[in-house]
């Protein structure tokens, strides 16, 4: 037995995989046979799939709840170190989540070098740093009740800018390479805010933060149509975000949170536009029925996720290494065990990424040029209907993860062990 916090071991994963490998091989062989007429290189698909990595949000390891209440699971992490332990467990099981995105000040960080070592020992690195000027913190001098970066008062804006500079500084010490900014600024009532002036103040603040951004960093700006502001939001849509990103500078890019769109929005078309503009920075992956529901990826709209992934894979093939959006999960877990929900999302993302990799781009283009609507759509459907679960499982195994990560997580008793460890 080892001292220190319990983590699922390599031996446990190997043992679990051994018991499942024969069935997986059989399923993969059947898949390969069914794809043979299409001349799809499955090894290449597997290789691409193992390259697909998704960051874990530190806040996702906790029960999020809604504004009506929280129902915490037992054994939740008590601090950032324990959040990293949970993230490491997820990464061990999936082989697909090697980075963690921090949120300042939700993650209280006192000892950065210890934290960096703690992460490195668990094979984790730090992804984009997230700021917070959408709520007040204890002891804070000025309030963000009426906004932060776009606030009418210069003092409040300066305070919000200073917070971002601090977040960059922390990120630099942890080896992060990106700053992610979402603001809640806006108005709840007509007449409350000047649309043009508030946007100009926001741009001005962004530019000041951008000037302090290290040369090898990217700045992500995240738009959202409404909430907490219900009538008007300063950065509500991709058009405003594109204007802002163009005004601020080359390394200011747009982050697309899948839940930050009104129902029926064609998100994949937005993604394509942002790729054309060279301004697609990354994603907050989740799913939603109505708005910012923050549900598990692909739980509601798997076909939409597949279509978004198609845009990304086709752009990747065309643009090569220059094109490398950041992928992060952004979910709130109210009912599911947070660790299980993050694993489930990662598994689903792998399944749909694999499906999108199976699209025959040449055939698709051929039918598009011929205006053969039915056959073009059929190319999508053919890939979408293919059962790619064995590919996803194999990609996890090749990356050192588990064929059946959720089953192993449950078998391991991790949650029970953590409940004892964390509630002494
Ligand atoms: Mn988000």
Ligand 1 mean position to 392 CA, how many Å? 25
**Cα–ligand 1 centroid distance for 29 (angstroms):** 39
Measure 294 CA to ligand 1 centroid, in angstroms: 8
Separation between Cα atoms, residue 412 and residue 9, nearest integer Å: 10
Q: What is the pLDDT of residue 38?
A: 85
The CA 139 to ligand 1 mean position distance, Å, reads: 26
Cα–ligand 1 centroid distance for 160 (angstroms): 19
Q: How much distance in Å is there from the Cα of 345 to the middle of ligand 1?
A: 15
Ligand 1 midpoint to CA 360 (Å): 32
> What Cα–Cα distance (Å) separates residue 6 from each residue in 210, 253, 344, 413, 422?
41, 39, 21, 10, 11
Residue 268 burial (CB < 10 Å; 0-12/13-18/19+)? middle
State whether residue 316 is helix, strand or coil. helix
Place of tokens 């080896």: 175
d(CA 359, ligand 1 centre) in Å = 28
pLDDT of residue 3: 64
DSSP, collapsed to helix, strand or coil, labels residue 78 as coil
The torsion angles phi and psi of 127, rounded to 5 degrees, stand at -90, -155
How much distance in Å is there from the Cα of 330 to the middle of ligand 1? 5
Q: How far is the CA of 376 from the centre of ligand 1 (A)?
A: 33
183: left (phi over 0), alpha (psi -120 to 50) or beta: beta
Cβ within 8 Å of residue 81, ≥6 positions away: 115, 118
User: Residue 280 has what pLDDT?
Assistant: 98
pTM: 0.97
What is the 284 CA–ligand 1 centroid distance (Å)? 5
CA of 53 to the centre of ligand 1 (A): 17
Q: Distance between CA 176 and CA 172 in Å, rounded?
A: 6
Number of neighbouring beta carbons within 10 Å of residue 28: 16
Residue 163 contacts residue 201 (beta carbons within 8 Å): no
Note residues around ion ligand 1 (Cβ under 5 angstroms). Answer: 257, 284, 330
> 25 C-alpha vs ligand 1 centroid, how far in Å?
37
DSSP labels, 208-254: HHHHTS-TT-EEEEE--SSSS-SSEETT-SHHHHHHHHHHH-TTEEE
Inter-residue contact 125 to 98 (CB < 8 Å) = yes
Give me the residues of the chain with pLDDT under 70, please: 1-3
Phi and psi at residue 326, in whole multiples of 5°? -90, 135
Ligand 1 centre distance from Cα of residue 14 (Å)? 35
**At a CB cut-off of 8 Å and minimum separation 6, what does 340 contact?**
406, 409, 410
Q: How far is the CA of 181 from the centre of ligand 1 (A)?
A: 9
Q: Which residues contact 5 (CB under 8 A, 6 or more apart)?
A: 82, 85, 421
Instruction: Tell me the per-residue pLDDT of 7-50, one tens digit each, with 9 for 90 and over.
Output: 999 999 999 999 999 999 999 999 999 998 888 899 999 999 99
Q: Please give the angle made by the CA atoms of 83, 84 and 88, to the nearest 5 degrees.
A: 120
């Amino acid at each position: 037995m080892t001292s220190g916090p319990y983590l699922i071991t390599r031996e446990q994963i190997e043992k679990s995989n051994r018991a499942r490998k024969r069935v997986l091989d059989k399923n993969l062989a059947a898949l390969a046979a069914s794809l043979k007429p299409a001349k799809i290189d499955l090894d290449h698909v597997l290789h691409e799939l193992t390259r697909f990595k998704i960051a874990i949000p530190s806040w996702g390891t906790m029960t999020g709840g809604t504004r009506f209440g929280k129902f915490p699971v037992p054994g939740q992490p008590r601090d950032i170190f324990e959040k990293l332990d949970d993230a490491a467990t997820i990464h061990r099981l999936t082989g697909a989540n090697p980075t963690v995105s921090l949120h300042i000040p939700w993650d209280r960080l006192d000892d950065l070098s210890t934290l960096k070592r703690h992460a490195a020992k668990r094979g984790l690195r730090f992804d984009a740093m997230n700021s917070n000027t959408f709520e007040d913190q204890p002891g804070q001098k000025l309030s963000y009740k009426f906004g932060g970066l776009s606030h009418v008062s210069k003092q409040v804006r300066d305070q919000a800018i200073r917070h971002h500079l601090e977040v960059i500084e922390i990120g630099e010490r942890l080896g992060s390479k990106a700053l992610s900014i979402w603001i809640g600024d806006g108005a709840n009532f007509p007449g409350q805010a000047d649309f043009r002036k508030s946007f100009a103040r926001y741009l001005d603040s962004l530019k000041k933060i951008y000037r302090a951004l290290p040369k090898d960093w990217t700045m992500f700006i995240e738009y959202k149509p409404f909430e907490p502001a219900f009538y008007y939001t300063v950065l509500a849509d991709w058009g405003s975000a594109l204007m802002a990103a163009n005004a601020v500078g080359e390394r200011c890019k747009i982050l697309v949170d899948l839940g930050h769109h009104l129902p029926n929005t064609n998100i994949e078309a937005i993604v394509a536009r942002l790729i054309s503009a060279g301004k697609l920075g990354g994603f907050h992956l989740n799913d939603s029925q109505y708005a910012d529901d923050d549900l598990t990826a692909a739980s509601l709209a798997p076909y939409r996720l597949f279509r978004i992934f198609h845009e990304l894979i086709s752009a990747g093939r065309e643009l090569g290494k220059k094109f490398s959006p950041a992928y992060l999960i952004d979910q709130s877990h109210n009912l599911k065990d947070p660790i299980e929900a993050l694993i489930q999302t990662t598994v689903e993302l792998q399944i749909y990424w694999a499906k999108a990799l199976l699209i025959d781009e040449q055939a698709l283009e051929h039918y598009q040029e011929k205006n053969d609507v039915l056959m073009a759509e059929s190319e999508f459907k053919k890939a979408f209907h293919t059962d790619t679960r064995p590919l996803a499982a194999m990609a996890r195994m090749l990356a050192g993860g588990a064929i059946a990560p959720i089953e192993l997580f449950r078998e391991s008793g991790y949650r029970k062990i953590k409940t004892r460890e964390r509630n002494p």
